[in-house]
Amino acid sequence: GIKIFKKYGQNTINTVRENPYKLCEDISGIGFKTADRIARNLGMPLNSIERAKAGIKYILYSFTANGHTYLPM
């Protein structure tokens, strides 16, 4: 929680409620799965645009981190 508060300060609660997936981008050590769990606990819909964007970034990062240069279709 300290890393999150240091990043967002007084806006921590509002930022996380508005878009918990922002945590994936801004906070080292918080990945898509953690942010997704937070989002579900907050009642965010599974079909939210924020979730879709974060999910795509997560998949792309996972493949490139493992040395892949393309994704199979």
Under the banding of pLDDT at 50, 70 and 90, the label for residue 71 is confident
* Per-residue model confidence (pLDDT) at position 26: 96
The pTM assigned to this predicted structure is 0.84
* Per-residue model confidence (pLDDT) at position 70: 79
* Per-residue model confidence (pLDDT) at position 19: 97
* Per-residue model confidence (pLDDT) at position 69: 81
CB atoms within 10 A of CB 16: 18
Looking at 1-73, list the stretches that DSSP marks H as alpha helix, in order from N- to C-terminal side: 2-8, 12-18, 22-26, 32-41, 49-65
Task: Encode pLDDT of 20-42 as tens digits.
Answer: 999 999 999 999 999 999 999 99
Under the banding of pLDDT at 50, 70 and 90, the label for residue 65 is confident
CB atoms within 10 A of CB 58: 17
**What residue segments make up the domains of the chain, in order of their start?**
2-65
